[in-house]
């Protein structure tokens, strides 16, 4: 695995001036606008709606969308930097931006027709939140075991079924929905559709009450004779499996960015606490046992960051990155669990209370091993490519 950016031949953690400025702007936004709301959003289990238009105004919802279509015309790496920076403060806000960029926008940029791009990308870059609807009650890791059906009726497709665990479900105006149009063909019958919230037969169902990233909406979608124009097929009929696989390969890098952000935020909080908390007449940061634990955590976090950045740089350079994306998601989610757990312990009793932020980081970290492909699924991907 290369640890040198193929595009610049410089260390991966060295950012260009544009990247540094962009990251700084996102960090400022996170600290000034998101952090004051984070605790309340977590308690209520809902995103403060005032943050959504601010994300659009800052250009965070259309980072890779071309300028001609209303976006920022940036790189995938910039999206990764944004997700990491937001996750240091609140990964529930970060996943709003992550799904929009690495899944929905990326999916349309790669697979949509020119007409679909001109119709939807300007809205996604300026006002519409997007969601990605693949999972179902019986189709999690077995993502292609879809029960949702699509039937062609003239110029309309009719969708019937339920989707589950849909991030951004409550806020979205556009959904990339996967359904099987020809079950006799197995996964080769799966087709992707662009579904608007206002389409007949479409509704948003139950919102989940979650352990972590609580402010991020995770909902059920109900497709009860949902009528979708034939012009809204994304890609080609029967190619939905390919659309989903290739999009999720990119999305996993985004989850990696979320996890290094979570770990980084927790470690910063614990380090600051260790410098101030005094026991036996001196700051606990003066004790070698504490120093070594912080050093180990920082080392693992840096390794995870290099893996995430490397995968993103490879993607932007047009090189193969599937294995690196799986490794980055796997390792960064493991590191996030270890680091956030340590940070709770370093704060002792205070770390177990909601008065300090580390317990939230600990809860928020767990999802990294689950969504957009469990750790076991990442290991399967890595092994498959390793042995190929």
Helix segments in the chain, DSSP class H: 17-29, 35-44, 51-57, 76-87, 91-98, 106-111, 114-126, 240-276, 288-316, 322-346, 358-365, 375-387
CA 50 distance to own-chain centroid: 20
Paired residues of 160 in beta bridges = 149, 224
3-state secondary structure of 247: helix
Alpha carbon distance 216, 278 (integer Å): 36
What are the structure tokens assigned to 61, written together?
A: 């919802």
Strand locations in 106-210 (E): 130-133, 149-153, 156-167, 174-180, 190-196, 202-207
Nearest C-alpha neighbor of 223 from the set 153, 157, 319? 157
Residue 53 sits at the vertex; the CA angle it makes with 167 and 169, to the nearest 5 degrees, is: 15
Whether 276 is catalytic = no
User: DSSP for 18-65?
Assistant: HHHHHHHHHHHHIIIIIHHHHHHHHHHTS--TTHHHHHHHTTTT-SSS
CB 100, CB 129: distance < 8 Å: yes
What are the structure tokens assigned to 149, written together?
A: 């059906």
CB 159, CB 149: distance < 8 Å: yes
Which residues are tagged catalytic? 372
């Amino acid at each position: 695995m290369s640890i040198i950016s193929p595009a610049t031949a410089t260390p991966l953690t060295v950012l260009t001036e544009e990247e540094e400025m962009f990251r700084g702007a996102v960090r400022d936004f996170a600290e000034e606008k998101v952090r004051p709301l984070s605790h309340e959003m977590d308690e209520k289990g809902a995103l403060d709606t005032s943050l959504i238009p601010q994300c659009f105004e800052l250009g965070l919802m259309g980072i890779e969308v071309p300028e001609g279509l209303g976006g920022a015309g940036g790189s995938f790496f910039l999206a990764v930097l944004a997700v990491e920076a937001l996750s240091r403060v609140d990964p529930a806000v970060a996943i709003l931006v992550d799904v929009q960029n690495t899944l929905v926008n990326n999916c349309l940029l790669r697979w949509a027709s020119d007409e679909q791009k001109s119709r939807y990308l300007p809205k996604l870059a300026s006002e519409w939140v997007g969601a990605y609807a693949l999972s179902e009650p019986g189709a999690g890791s077995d993502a292609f075991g879809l029960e949702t059906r699509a039937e062609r009726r003239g110029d309309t497709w009719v969708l019937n079924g339920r989707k589950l665990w849909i991030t951004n479900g409550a806020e979205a105006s556009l959904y990339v929905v996967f359904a099987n149009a020809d079950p006799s063909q197995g996964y080769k019958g799966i087709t992707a559709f662009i579904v608007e919230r206002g389409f007949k037969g479409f509704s948003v169902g139950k919102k989940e009450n979650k352990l972590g990233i609580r402010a991020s909406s995770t909902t059920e979608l109900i497709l009860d004779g949902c009528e979708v124009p034939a012009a809204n097929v994304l890609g080609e009929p029967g190619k939905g499996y390919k659309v989903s696989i290739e999009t999720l390969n990119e999305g996993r890098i985004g989850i990696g960015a979320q996890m290094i952000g979570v770990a980084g935020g927790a470690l910063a909080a614990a380090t600051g606490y260790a410098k101030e908390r005094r026991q036996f007449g001196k700051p606990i940061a003066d004790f070698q046992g504490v120093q070594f634990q912080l050093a180990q955590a920082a080392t693992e976090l840096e390794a995870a960051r290099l893996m995430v950045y490397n995968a993103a740089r490879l993607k932007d350079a047009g090189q193969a990155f599937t294995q690196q994306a799986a490794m980055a998601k796997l390792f960064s989610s493991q590191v996030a669990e270890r680091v956030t757990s340590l940070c709770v312990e370093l704060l002792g009793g205070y770390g177990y209370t909601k008065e300090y932020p580390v317990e939230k980081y600990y809860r928020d970290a767990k999802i990294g091993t689950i969504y957009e492909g469990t750790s076991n699924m990442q290991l399967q991907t890595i092994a498959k490519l390793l042995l190929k």
